[in-house]
Amino acid sequence: MVMQHKPAPERLEDETLVGRVQTGDAGAFESLVLRYQDRVYNVCYRFVGHAEDARDLTQEAFLKAYRSIHRFQRESGFYTWLFRIAMNAALTHRKKARLRLAGSLDANEADTIPAPPDRSPPTDADASVNHQRVANALAKLEADHRAVIVLRDIEGFDYEQIANILEIQRGTVKSRIHRARAAFREVWDRKELSNSTAHTGPRP
């Protein structure tokens, strides 16, 4: 059964806005950007682990959506369609980045991922450290695994929508999420172990 991730009225509103963009209404496009820029940015950020790259990818995704909005098929929903564009851009970005890093920094890549910008007062230092470690563990995953985790656990898409975004079968989503979480656990447990033996940082 297909679960509707978004409430129907919001989806209807998306379609109205898309229709207006298709007839040349720039204000409608602005509304769509305002509505989704945070979510697209957050997913890109969690996927690439870098604020500047996430910003570029978000911009790229919206521009691609804008340029090809006349090809938008309403059955998939604008939100899902937009994320498909964003994830395609992000996956391509990762491939290029890996090529650049091949043989040099790749092995340590995850450790170089910077901390997210500090947007809240450090009232809970432990939580902040923990978030950084979760982000680093995510960064250690293969791109395919990280993609499904970000889409499912961070953005909250259901399997059907993830299948739609990544253009894979729903069964593949199911098994990939299983493998991705197992991989995350492995990385996390390894980190836990090294943290406890090195006595660096608090345990979560």
Give the interface with other proteins as residue ranges (CB under 8 A). Answer: 1, 3, 21-24, 26, 29-30, 33-34, 37-38, 40-42, 45-46, 51, 54-55, 58-59, 62-63, 66-67, 69-70, 116-117, 119-120, 127, 130-131, 134-135, 138, 149, 152-154, 158-159, 174-175, 177-178, 181-182, 184-185, 188, 204
Closer residue to other proteins in complex, CB, 63/105: 63
Evaluate whether 114 touches 51 at the Cβ level (below 8 Å): yes
Q: What does the alpha-carbon distance between residue 62 and residue 67 come to, in Å, rounded to a whole number?
A: 9
**Residue with Cβ nearer other proteins (40 or 147):** 40
Output the smallest distance, CB 76 to other proteins, in A: 19
Tell me the closest approach of the beta carbon of residue 3 to other proteins, in angstroms. 8
Helix (H) or strand (E) holding 34: helix 26-48
Cβ 53 to other proteins shortest distance, Å: 12
CB atoms within 10 A of CB 83: 27
DSSP 158: -
Measured from the CB atom, the residue of 95 and 185 that comes closer to other proteins is: 185
- At 80, the amino acid letter reads T
Residue 67 or residue 107: which is nearer to other proteins going by CB?
Answer: 67
Q: In Å, how far are 89, 138, 175, 177 from 181, measured between CA atoms?
A: 23, 10, 10, 6
* Cβ-based nearer residue to other proteins, 105 or 127: 127
Tokens coding 75: 């059955």
Quick check: 138 and 49 in contact, CB under 8 A? yes
In whole angstroms, the minimum distance from the beta carbon of 56 to other proteins comes to 10
